[in-house]
Structures are given as structure tokens and as C-alpha cells.
Structure 1
Amino acid sequence: MSSRDRATASPLFVPHKSDRRSARAAKEQFATARDQARGAARPDDRRRTTTLDPDLQPTYPAGGRPGPASARGGRLKLPAHRMTTAVASGAYPFLAEGGLGSQGIYVGQDVHAEAAFCYDPFALYGRLEGFTNPNILLAGVIGMGKSALAKSLALRAVAFGYRIYVPCDPKGEWTVVAQELGGQTISIGPGLPGRINPLDAPAKPYGADEREWANEVRKRRLLLLGSLAKTVLRRELHPMEHTALDIALDQVVAYHSAVGTTPLLGDVAYVLNSPDRLNAATGEPSGRLGRAAEDLAHALRRLIHGDLSGMFDAPSTVAFDPTAPMLSIDLSRLGGAGDDTGLVLAMTCASAWMEAALSDPRGGRRWVIYDEAWRVMRHSALLERMQSQWKLSRGLGIANMMVIHRLSDLLTAGDAGSRGRALAEGLLTDCSTRIIYRQEADQLASAAAVLGLTGVETQAVSALTKGRGLWKVAGRSFITQHLLHPRERELFDTDLRMAA
């Protein structure tokens, strides 16, 4: 053997009497062990996300949606194709929404995009296509965080210089929020010292003509008196009843202007209950106008001598501060016995009283929140006032928010084709932002029909968890998880009495 020749030897172990099946099993075990060893040697490059909020759970696992609808068949192989991003978004639409931008109030996290979600109706107006008004509809079943979202938006809006008005707080939940912000709360109800005169003349806006403003004040007072009468009578007023209201108000205002005082509801009711004075004002000897005003006089008497006496029949004992960051009117003492008439009357008077600040062009931009709005959907007189405020939202610089439980609450305003139903549907139409929290299974069909939800959106609404809602902003949809600060959780806790 020469020096160039080399020989190597290794022991070869051949199992005695090894069959083919055992050899195949040993080979498979070896391959499995080799793959496990290779996987253990690789670094773990999976994305780890840590969050302090337990509500932020991923919608789908990191590998995507499981099941046959995951669109990962593994059998479709197409050749490579180059295209622009505009074409690619249509060919492959399974992309997360880009969001509304970073300008505005921080709400929480966009679930699909896993990015911060901000919202500001005043910032979006004129910048987002299809966003025609700043009004908001918020609907959701009890216990899903609907009220917490409304209060959180109000609390955070103050940091942006906005003022908050809550003309109706039927459960008294906004009082603690107003106190925390250094705002003002007015409690109205039987036995409480607060008094509001709904016929108070609002301050004249800067630059307004004296005569034109006097006519505007007269129109507002007539609208208020008509709304009160229609709520109590539960019907529309007749033409002669409108005439009686005009004459009674003019006589009362003329008298109080001469003596330098403010007219009261009791003065108007006294003139309506004086047929001779009404007939003398029109020159009709038949006495028809006096007889036509009898129902009106009895309707207003409820606010003076009935179950609502002592709240709106005297001069105001509280002063409206338009510079306060927040104003809420606590009506929790009313409507507890199942009759919402007293609550609606009080809300009508309070809304008219707050219009003084809303009509001031120097008042800045404001949020007006109607909590538990489902309780007033059956009263067309109040719906008319809300519709006027919805229509004038852009000119007044206000963002109206209507909070209800179910979308079917809008259908309780009246029968199909009635004026009440038309007013309720008009409020929904004038809301460019619709926030829907979880709805019950029997309400999904009506919600989808009223809002025009797609099949995917309807399925998403039925599976929403607490604090998570479907935001439809000018036709764009987002699934957003609302995040609360620990201090906000303490302020907005409505389940305190349910705890042990």
C-alpha cells in the first residue's frame, strides 16, 4: 500500500432480524427528532405584544383566521403579477382600514389595524368625504360600556376646549362627572330648591338687531308653550289654540315689559283661563276663542298646581354659567313611576332654558348629550325640538349625541308614516357617526335594516364584547376597543350597587 492510499473503517450495526416496518418507523422517528432539533435551534421571532388592558385581546390568532373560511387552501398557485397599489387594493381587499388620523380625541384601539383610534367630529367635518354633520348616534344593550363611552368622550373633549351640555340626566349619573370637571349640575324635581323659568329671555347675541332678536325670543317662547301643551294633551294643537297662545303670550310680555319683570308660565295660564280677555283681544263677541283655550289652560295648570308645581312656575333660582366646562340637569326625581310625561315636560323646559347658550355665536364648540333618549322617542313635541337642534348643528357649532339601547327604539316614535316616526328617522339620517355596541339576537335584523349593515357587520355586532363597538363614520367601518383610564373606571362605574 502506497502513502497516497488511505483507508477508513466504521462499525456498521445491522439489527438482527429487522423487518421493513420497523425500519420505516425508525426512519420516521429520526426525521421527527431532526425537525424538532432544528426548530429548537432557531430564535423565536414571533411578535410578542404586551398590554396593560385585559380587554385588548387579538381578534384572530397570529396565523390568521382558522377554519375553511381562512382563504388559505394551499392549492392555488398563480404566476407572479406586478400591479399598482390602487389595483391591488381592489384585487385583494383583505386589508385593515387606515383609520381617521391622529387628530382628535383618543378613544382606544382599532382592533383590526391594531393602531390608536382617534375621533373628533369638528376636525372631521370638511376633511372627510361624506361627513356632512357632527351628530352622533350611540346604541347598545345594557352593560356593554355604552354610557362609559359617552362620558369618556365628554370628559376628554373638555381637554380640547369643548363645553359639554347634558339637558336630560334621568338617572343622575352625570353629576359626578360634572363635579370632577368643575362644572355645574342643576337638580330639578319635587321638593328640591332648584327653579327654572323657561320663559327667561336669553342674552342677545353680539351684533344682533334688537327688533329681530325680540321676534326670535317670541318664536322660542311660543314653540316652548306649544310643546308643553302638546305633551300634556297628547295631540296636535288646533289653529284657534295657537291663536290663543299668541295672544296670551303677547299680553303677558307687554305687561312685564312695562313693569320691568320676567313673564312666568302662571301668567300665561291665567290669561288663557280668562275668556273675556282673549275675546276682547280679537274683537269676537261670540266667545269662541275663550272656549277653545280651555284645554290649553288646564294643560299649563299641571306645571303650576299639578305634580310638576314648584319647578317651572317661579323666577329662576339658578344662574346659567356659559363659561362652565360642563352643565348637566339632573332629572332623576322625575319619571320613576313609569310615566315619562313629567320627565318630558321638565326636559322641554330645561332644553329651552339652555338654548340661550347654544344660540350665542361666541360660545365656542359644544357637545350636547341626550342620555337615555329612548324615553322621549314617543313624544313628538320633544322630537321636534331635537330635530331643530340637529338641523342647526353646523350653524350653532354643536355636536349632538343621542344615546339609546336598541335601534328599534327609533321605531317606537309612531306608526309607519306618522310624523313621530318621520322625526325619529330624520334624526338618524342626520347622524354621520353611528356607534353600535352589541345588540341582542332578536334585534340584529332591525338594526341591519335601519342602519344598512352588511352581513359581515351584522355578524360582528352580534359578537362584540364589553367596550368594543362598531363605528360607522361616513360610510367607513371600524371595530374599536374603548380604553378607560383607571380614574375613569371609578367615575363611570354604574354597577357599584351590584357589588357585594
Structure 2
Amino acid sequence: MLSRTPISHDPVTAYNSEPREVSSPNVIVMGDVGAGKSSHTKCNYVVRPLLLKGRRAVVFDKKDQNGEGEYSNVVRHYGFEPIRFTVDGTGTTLNLLDPMIARGTGIQGQARLLNIVTRLARGDQPLDGWEEEALRAALRATVDRIQGRAPVLADVLPNLGNITDDPEYHALSPTARDDLHKAGLSVKWTLNGLLDEYTGLLDGETSKSVDLSGKLTSFDLSQLPDDGPVVPVVMAIGNMWMLGRLRHERDSATTVVYEEGWHMIGGPGAQLIKSNQKLSRGLGISNVFVMHKGTDIPTDSPGMAIIQEAQTVVVYRQSRPDDALWCQQTFGLAPETARTIENLADGHYIFKYGSHPETHVQHIRSSWERELTNTDEGLAAGTAD
């Protein structure tokens, strides 16, 4: 807006340049509802990069638009259907123990995922040491015993608390074995409740429709309830499955968009993202986290570390002074930028990447992009949004 000149930036290109313009290909997009961040994300991190050779995009699509995710029409434009998730048994199934996850991060990754899912099912209550050990023991027993098919979560449940056949625990005192047994039962009841509540979503092998063969893949979460653990659970499983798939398909760089990204970096799911950062960079993944504000994220959480590592930052209007100040301080912006963030017009944003100073930018779409990316929340009139 200062020089009236165009700005071009692609995080993957910037990360792979010589010398590197950014040390991380990850992106944070923040802003109030209706300010323009959704349209910006569709254009700058999905539609436009897909014009480049060797690029694809995966979107975790949470926003409901006429009974389906807002990216559904964009996915169909590329000749594919969104992968739809529901809680009534009519949608897609995701298997926490899918072999694809083990291909990416091994049994350790599966154990980490089970731990996170259990924690999410408890309302972000961490497992204690006994419960973690009981869960690892049950997973080992399940993988050893199930042959000829992919194990599923229901196969783990009978092994939780059942340590009588595991020689590793024979030397424990009767009291210790009893404590481990009780810990396993505690985890079992938590996972039992999760399966009962979300029948058809988590209680079987992964549906054949879960695939990354197209240039654009959408995990449509728009029909899942906002309350409860199901959205971050599906995001976490989908993330781990995707890493396993991409580990054996390294022909493209992949942009992964997390709409309502707070679900992944505002809770225990951030541990998965953080622990897999090195693997993600090696697989050519650029994570884009789209969220309303960052003030709800604890300063000492893994989610804050992910935010601070991102080297591409886009801030649309944050009308609350506390939220605007958080952005100014967290992203190292000039002090006067906080007031600018509070008063940004629709379609305007503060843009910062690498060591470059922030810039006030207006997002302008072509008529084709407006048609493809408009949502029910219609943004600014004309070409600027």
C-alpha cells in the first residue's frame, strides 16, 4: 500500500532458494471473521501455487458452506471429491492404527498418536506414567497378535490392562502389576467412550476414499461438531496418515492448510506437529495454520513454539487491542503496527516473511479467483478483499 507495487511470495520457493529467504516454510494466517483471511489462503496457498509444477495441496476444511466444506467446489474444479467426515456413520472412516502411519513414523508415531487422542478425549487431561506404559504395552500386543489385516482401535481395547501374558512385567511386584492393570482400564474406558460416541468414524479400517492422488485433497470436517474432541482427533490422525503417504511419494512439494488451525496448535495436537517438524521439512511440506487469534495459546506450549518458528506471517484485522498487541509482540513487528492491525480494512493485511520488515498489503483477486473462492461471508466489494 505504501509503494503501490505487487508483492510475490511463495514459502516453498523461498525456503528452497539459494540463499534461503526463510528458515521455515510454515505460515501463520490470523484475523477477525470476515476480514479476508479465508480468501487469502485459498488464493495464495492453494489455487495459485497449484499452477506450479510439482505442487499439491491438502486442506483440513472446517468451515461449513451450504452443508459441506468451503473448499469443496475448489476440489471439484480439479476433478476430485472432498473426503467427507460425519458422526452419523455415513462418512469416511480413519484408522488410528493404519499401516500408513507406521510407514511414516513407526510404532512410536502410532503410540504418540494414541496418547494424544486419549488426551483429547479427556478434555486435554494428560496421561500419567502408568497409563502411558499401559497404552504402549497394549499397542505392542495388538501389533504382534493381529495378522493378515490392519489392526484397528477396537483391537487395542482388550489388551489395555491385560498384562498377564507380557513377560516384561513378570518381575514387577503384585502392587505394581495391579497399578498397571488399573491404568490400562482407565485408558480403555476413555477410548471405549470415544468409539461409542463416534461410531463409524474411528472404529474400522481407513476408507478407500482417503487418498492423495489429486493435486488438491480436502478433508471435509465441516459437518463434525465444534464441541468435543472429534475435530482435533481427525486432524491429528489425518496429519499422521499424510506423513506416512508422503514419505513414499516425494515427487511434489505439499502445502497443508489447517483451517481453524487452533485445533492443531492450541492443544495437545501441537506435540505431533512439533515432533514431526524435521520430517515435514524433509518431505517438502509447508504447513499453513489459519486462525482467529493467538491470545488463547499458552506461552509455554508447543503451539507457541510452532507459531514462533513460522517464517511467513499474515495478519488481517484484529479489532481487539489485546489481540493486535499479541501479534505485534509475538511476530516482532514495529510498535506502531499494533494500531494499524486494529484498523485494517477488509482485504488488507500486514505481511512479514524471513528477516524482511512488515509490509501493509492489499489482497486483489482476479474475477476467476473471486468466483472460485467467495464464501457466504462475502468480503470487501470489488476486486479487493
TM-score under structure 2 length normalisation: 0.86
Q: What pairs with 1:35-434 in structure 2 (closer than 5 Å)?
A: 111-125=1-15, 126-127=17-18, 131-153=22-44, 154-161=46-53, 162-171=55-64, 172-191=69-88, 192-202=90-100, 216-233=105-122, 234-257=124-147, 260-272=148-160, 274=162, 276-277=164-165, 282-283=169-170, 284=172, 286=174, 287-288=177-178, 289-305=180-196, 307-336=197-226, 339-360=227-248, 362-380=250-268, 382-408=269-295, 412-414=296-298, 416=299, 421-434=300-313
> Secondary structure, in 3 states, of the residue corresponding to 1:217?
helix
What displacement does 1:240 show?
A: 2.2
Residues 1:482 and 2:383 are matched in the alignment: no
Q: 1:356 to 1:220 in 2, by over 3 A?
A: same
What displacement does 1:129 show?
A: 6.0
What displacement does 1:196 show?
A: 1.9
Aligned counterpart, 1:51: none
Greater RCO, 1 or 2 (C-alpha within 8 Å, sep 6+): 2
Give the whole-Å Cα distance in 2 for the aligned partners of 1:128 and 1:457. Answer: 29
Note the residue ranges of structure 1 that are not aligned, 5 or more in a row: 1-110, 205-212
Aligned counterpart, 1:471: 351
Give the whole-Å Cα distance in 2 for the aligned partners of 1:132 and 1:378. Answer: 23
Identify the range of structure 1 (456-465 vs 470-479) with the bigger mean alpha-carbon deviation.
Answer: 456-465
What displacement does 1:350 show?
A: 2.1
Give the whole-Å Cα distance in 1 for the aligned partners of 2:21 and 2:49. Answer: 23
What is the alpha-carbon root mean square deviation over aligned residues?
2.5
Give the whole-Å Cα distance in 2 for the aligned partners of 1:405 and 1:496. Answer: 15
Note the residue ranges of structure 2 that are not aligned, 5 or more in a row: 380-385
Identify the range of structure 1 (289-298 vs 118-127) with the bigger mean alpha-carbon deviation.
Answer: 118-127
Greater Cα radius of gyration, structure 1 or 2: 1
Aligned counterpart, 2:382: none
* 8 A contact 2:267–2:303 mirrored in 1: no
Give the whole-Å Cα distance in 2 for the aligned partners of 1:265 and 1:137. Answer: 33
> Secondary structure, in 3 states, of the residue corresponding to 1:195?
coil
Q: 1:327 to 1:386 in 2, by over 3 A?
A: same
Give the whole-Å Cα distance in 2 for the aligned partners of 1:309 and 1:386. Answer: 27
Specify which of 319, 322, 338 is matched with residue 440 of structure 1.
319
What displacement does 1:326 show?
A: 1.2
Task: Please list the CA deviations of residues 190-218 of structure 1 after superposition, one character each: whole Å capped at 9, or x if unmatched.
Answer: 122322222111299xxxxxxxx69x421
Specify which of 449, 462, 469 is matched with residue 329 of structure 2.
449
> Secondary structure, in 3 states, of the residue corresponding to 2:192?
helix
> Secondary structure, in 3 states, of the residue corresponding to 1:220?
helix
* 8 A contact 2:58–2:216 mirrored in 1: yes
Aligned counterpart, 2:383: none
* 8 A contact 2:236–2:264 mirrored in 1: no
What displacement does 1:352 show?
A: 2.2
- Give 2:282's aligned amino acid: G
The percent of aligned pairs where both chains have the same amino acid is: 24
> Secondary structure, in 3 states, of the residue corresponding to 1:166?
strand
* 8 A contact 1:144–1:467 mirrored in 2: yes
Q: 1:496 to 1:232 in 2, by over 3 A?
A: closer
* 8 A contact 1:197–1:315 mirrored in 2: yes
Q: 1:128 to 1:371 in 2, by over 3 A?
A: farther
- Give 1:112's aligned amino acid: L
